[in-house]
Chain A
Amino acid sequence: MAVKESSLIISGYGGQGVLFIGMAISNCAMDEDKYVTWLPSYGAEMRGGTANCTIVIANEEVASPYQQTPDYVIALNAQSVEKFEMKIKPGGTLIVNSSLYKGHEKRTDINYLYIPANEIAAKIGEIKCANVVMLSAFIEKTKIVKIESLKKVIRNIISASKAKLLEINELAIQKGSEYIKLPVCH
């Protein structure tokens, strides 16, 4: 069996929930019996600048959790676009939080998807859910894991005592995966 491997970097400000959605999609992959690794940027890089994590999902044991040239980048802020735009594999995709980045495309050999994640999240009443909006759009677009897996994982992570929070996150999943189907984001 040939190795099928997808790599994803999720990047944003500390506090945007970058590591959290990284763990969420990793859990989805695990639940679907895929091999997966999650590697955070650690140390001084995390203070002030961007936080990021690298996720590798494969059909056999992941060789290197670290990837210099990822297939996909989810950029939650402008700095993340600047940091990773040039590093994406040709043919890969950059998913941009267009609420926080208005710049021009620097490459013609990758795909760009624009999600106004902050606006979408604000509309459902919780701007902190911008990360889940972005992840849901990404999952719906790439089908690397199932959106159903994400719903299950989010239900497991957010305990029953926080019913309101769960509801908002489920709404974020719905809005994110709906938005990506619109032609406007391509």
Chain B
Amino acid sequence: MTKTAEKVLLKGNHAIAKAAINAGCQCYFGYPITPQNEIGEFLSVEMPARGRVFLQAESEVAAINMLLGAASTGTKAMTSSSSLAIALMQEGISYIAADNIPAVVVSVMRAGPALGYIFPSQGDYFQTVKGGGNGDYKTLTLAPATVQEMIDYTYKAFYLAQKYRTIVFLLADGLLGQMMEPAVLYDYPYEEIDNSDWALDGAKGRPGRWIGSIHRSEEVLEKKVLELFKKYDIIKQNEIEYKTLYAEDAEILITAFGSVARIAQAAVKQAREAGLKVGLFRPITLWPFPEKELYKFATGKKLILDIEMNMGQMLEDVKMSVSGQAKVEFYGRPAGFYFTPEELLEEIKKQMEGLK
């Protein structure tokens, strides 16, 4: 890591694009959609300038399959899109997962359902974490909350994708994509993973290899899926990430992810200044969800208040993790209405009154 790297004022979408270049991404495939267009715009200039591939596909269906193809050769590759267009990619996402292909998908959420509009939203938690593709698979999902974290977790997305030969989602929203904030663009800090034992890199001097998801015997298909889930178990053991603020002695524990978590963090600080015992639990990996960790922090609390820019999606994982150890309430808005810390503080006070 270059410790001397300077702080620069960066747009969230540009931070992702620059980090992807530093991470060694060789191929970008995408199709335009707001609010993530600056990623493709930036890479359309910077990738060819480095002799790398920028390809604007004819559709999102094509882009995700190009990603599958490029990444199956062991090449670091990425696509980025948003909400309704990520919906079009779901078939390919299931294939990439089944085929153990390391690929990075950036999802900058906008408000839905359907065409909705370009406002920021967190309405695609289900789409990302629970998957819209078919069959048993999981998508490792990282949720940044600042422009600096857009860099940190883009790097980590590339690393984890290679390390586990798995699909990794970077799940941001229009607010994080469009905003500028000072951040340090340091060098890619992770080791390179050897992929010579599986990559489809031309069978020179070795027998051919096959990557595919069709298995015509029940025994083989079951074995493949069980192997996939063995891998997921290892990811669960190693990669769960979360942050807390005043969570230990809190009476009310807020759960929030991504951009909402940073607003909730300010509300928690304001609540503490007002003498209210409020804390924050922020999952960073949405899958694997920090179930045991949340269970531990939730136990003994008077209330868990889940806050999301949707109608309650992470809420289901929160409830499952809390497992009845505390009451769970929800506060959310679905269509690009950013919360203010003051609004959240009001809600916290209202909930506190209700506890009396």
Contacts and interface: CB of A to CB of B under 8 A. Distances in A.
B341 A64 contact: yes
Interface string B262-287: 11011101100100000000000000
A101 interface: no
B246 interface: no
B340 A67 contact: yes
Interface in A102-148: none
Interface stretch (A33-41, A71-79, A166-174): A33-41
Contact of A61 (B9, B117, B146, B338): B146
Given A61-B262, A65-B175, A26 B180 contact: yes
Interface residues of A, number: 22
A42 B178 contact: yes
Given A30-B9, A38-B180, A42-B34, A66 B338 contact: yes
Nearest to A3: B269
A100 interface: no
A66 B8 CA distance: 21
Contacts of A38: 9, 179-181
B182 interface: yes
A63 B178 contact: no
Given A63-B262, A67-B340, A43 B182 contact: no
Contacts of B117: 43
Given A64-B338, A66-B338, A42 B35 contact: yes
27 contacts: A2-B273, A3-B266, A30-B8, A30-B9, A30-B182, A35-B182, A36-B9, A36-B181, A37-B180, A38-B179, A39-B179, A39-B180, A40-B178, A42-B34, A42-B174, A43-B34, A43-B118, A61-B146, A61-B262, A63-B266, A63-B267, A64-B263, A64-B338, A64-B340, A65-B181, A66-B340, A68-B340
Interface of A: 2-3, 23, 26-27, 30, 35-40, 42-43, 61-68
